[in-house]
Structure 1
Amino acid sequence: MSYSTPATDEVSSSDSVTAALLFYVHNHILYLTLNRPSVLNAIDLAMAIALHHLLAQARANQTIRAIVITGSGRAFCAGGDLKFAMAANPDTPGDSFLVLTEVLHRCIEEICTMPKPVIAAINGAAAGAGLFLALACDLRVMANTAYLKQSNTSYGLSLPAGGTFTLPRLVGMGRALEIVMLDDPIPAARAYELGLVNRVVEASSLIEQAQSLAERVAQMPVGVLGRVKQLMNQSCYNTLNQQLHLEQQAIAISANSSEGREGISAFIQKRRPAYI
């Protein structure tokens, strides 16, 4: 992946990135770090633009097989930058949110439709849009010292970043409304109990654990994982008959792909398949 090193905090074009979002590629995995630690990695427009740019590049780059998103400092992400919103439009901050969510929601769409696994490594507080950014990811590994918080409704704001879509699907409508209406902080153990995260690990080993998980899924047939991810998302809207038809088409495409042929050959030859 041919990226230039970020040099400024501003994004001037679609070909540039920002120091507010760090990245590197290792073993076919793209690591993205939200990097505004002084404001708990709150998302401003520059960060959202950079995130969308890098996600779009990762989608198109066939050498990238998985993505890990984490935060720098003591937070994963505190959500949308409210100071940015007020400074840009003091009388009508909603106008700022229209602009910010226009880009941020494209990021959520990229993650949810990404034909390869996306993992959130929740190193600290994930609140507001930061929580929903994590929930949009396919897998979530959480430090035992971190916590989740819905936050928006306490500050007079509705939920952005796909929160009304992902939250009830993960925990059910009753729990989702409880989280929204009470806005209690959710510690790591409780987040695991509710099904909001897949794993809780020691904070000191979070990145190592996320890397290990990413490398594991990167060894899988990523094209197939992308198809199954798409099917599961489509199942929210389809009838059983429609879903069965899509499954029929997808398994035929999968079997005819290089991954499918390799997997079938490995099974017959009683060996481990090699997808990379």
Structure 2
Amino acid sequence: MNTSTPLLVAIQGDILILTLNRPSVLNAIDAEMAVALQEQLTSASQNPAIRAILITGSGLGFCSGGDLKFAVETNPKYPGDAFLALTAILHDCVEQIRTMSKPVIAAINGAAAGAGLFLALACDLRIMVDSAYLKQSNTSHGLSLPVGGTFTLPRLIGMGRALEIVMLDEAIFAAQSLELGLVTKVVPHQQLQAEALALAARVSQMPIEALGRVKRLMNEAYHNTLTEQLLAERQQIAMSANSPEGREGLAAFLQKRQPNYAAVKVSRSALYHSIRV
């Protein structure tokens, strides 16, 4: 494995596989890794050939969080300046994940802590090995939560549980992670790659543009009034029914066959902007 490249990139069929690759520090995120991740997400979001994205880690961990040593060494007197710069990139990554039409899956192959945990929580689906654990970590280091943690954590498990995780900062092992709803599935370590790719392949056959519309509606639901949300739902179901995917889905229903969404040509602008209309 090439240890000099902070992000490994591979394509399997219509699935883009991004592997965080700083195994000697459990894939802690520095500026170089963050920029590489940002660039790949931007490219994939606009590439019609990519229908799903899988993010995982190399070595023993998924991601141990932001590289604290990097932050302190960058500016020993004001390490917060380094965090300000790093989170500008990582927060763009989170926004891309939450707004792009493509399904994004985290394959948690080992410990996910701090920014690594919050990166995983930003993904649409999460599959975790049974030997891994999750830990928010930041508050134990005197730091607040970045990378969308304060947005995703309470939405996934509720405010009470989220505050418990923040204040106690205990490791959350696989069985509890599944019970809380922090992950979608738990598998043995030797099955992770196959299970994650199977999950990515499954969602890649779904109507990608329609999934993006639903992601948008769910994101907006937390600040819309009921009237606003119902109006948005009306608009989006009408637009999706008029789209190539919608026409294929409806035709397949009437013809009593399985829809072939992967064969539907969707424009780059629809893939990237369908959730922003």
Q: TM-score, normalised by structure 2?
A: 0.93
Distance 1:8 1:60 in 2: 28
What secondary structure, in the 3-state scheme, does the structure 2 residue paired with 1:22 have?
A: strand
Distance 1:272 1:102 in 2: 43
Match of 2:139 in 1: 153
Match of 1:138 in 2: 124
Distance 1:269 1:81 in 2: 54
Match of 2:260 in 1: 274
Which digits, 9 at most, give the CA deviation of each residue in 1:70-120, with x for residues without a partner? 000000000000010011101111111011111111111111111110000
**How far did residue 25 of structure 1 move?**
1.2
**How far did residue 8 of structure 1 move?**
9.5
- What amino acid is the match of 1:256? N
Match of 2:230 in 1: 244
Distance 1:252 1:165 in 2: 29
What secondary structure, in the 3-state scheme, does the structure 2 residue paired with 1:64 have?
A: coil
Distance 2:90 2:258 in 1: 40
| Structure 1: 5+ residue stretches without partners | 1-6, 10-18
**How far did residue 53 of structure 1 move?**
0.4
**How far did residue 209 of structure 1 move?**
0.4
Distance 1:71 1:114 in 2: 22
- Confirm whether residue 97 of structure 1 aligns to residue 83 of structure 2: yes
**How far did residue 26 of structure 1 move?**
1.3
Which digits, 9 at most, give the CA deviation of each residue in 1:125-145, with x for residues without a partner? 000000000000000000001
Q: Which of 111, 114, 119 does residue 100 from structure 2 map onto?
A: 114
Match of 1:258 in 2: 244
- What amino acid is the match of 2:163? L
Distance 2:255 2:155 in 1: 40
Q: Which of 214, 226, 229 does residue 215 from structure 2 map onto?
A: 229
Q: Which of 96, 107, 115 does residue 129 from structure 1 map onto?
A: 115
Match of 1:35 in 2: 21
What secondary structure, in the 3-state scheme, does the structure 1 residue paired with 2:240 have?
A: helix
**How far did residue 175 of structure 1 move?**
0.5
Specify whether residues 152 and 216 from structure 1 end up closer, same or farther in structure 2 by C-alpha distance, changes over 3 A only: same
- Confirm whether residue 166 of structure 1 aligns to residue 145 of structure 2: no
Q: Which of 43, 54, 59 does residue 68 from structure 1 map onto?
A: 54
Which digits, 9 at most, give the CA deviation of each residue in 1:246-276, with x for residues without a partner? 1111111111111111111110010111112
- Confirm whether residue 78 of structure 1 aligns to residue 70 of structure 2: no
Match of 2:175 in 1: 189
What secondary structure, in the 3-state scheme, does the structure 2 residue paired with 1:247 have?
A: helix
- What amino acid is the match of 1:162? G
Distance 2:193 2:220 in 1: 31
- What amino acid is the match of 1:140? R
Q: TM-score, normalised by structure 1?
A: 0.93
Distance 1:70 1:223 in 2: 24
Match of 2:268 in 1: none
Q: Is the 8 A contact 2:154 2:161 kept in 1?
A: yes
What secondary structure, in the 3-state scheme, does the structure 1 residue paired with 2:62 have?
A: strand
Distance 1:234 1:248 in 2: 14
Q: When the two structures are aligned, how many residues end up with a matched partner?
A: 261
Q: Is the 8 A contact 2:113 2:134 kept in 1?
A: yes
- Confirm whether residue 213 of structure 1 aligns to residue 199 of structure 2: yes
**How far did residue 242 of structure 1 move?**
0.6
What secondary structure, in the 3-state scheme, does the structure 1 residue paired with 2:107 have?
A: strand
Distance 2:72 2:124 in 1: 32
What secondary structure, in the 3-state scheme, does the structure 2 residue paired with 1:79 have?
A: coil
Distance 1:92 1:251 in 2: 49
Distance 2:61 2:3 in 1: 22
**How far did residue 55 of structure 1 move?**
0.2
Using CA pairs below 8 Å that are at least 6 residues apart, which structure has the higher relative contact order? 2
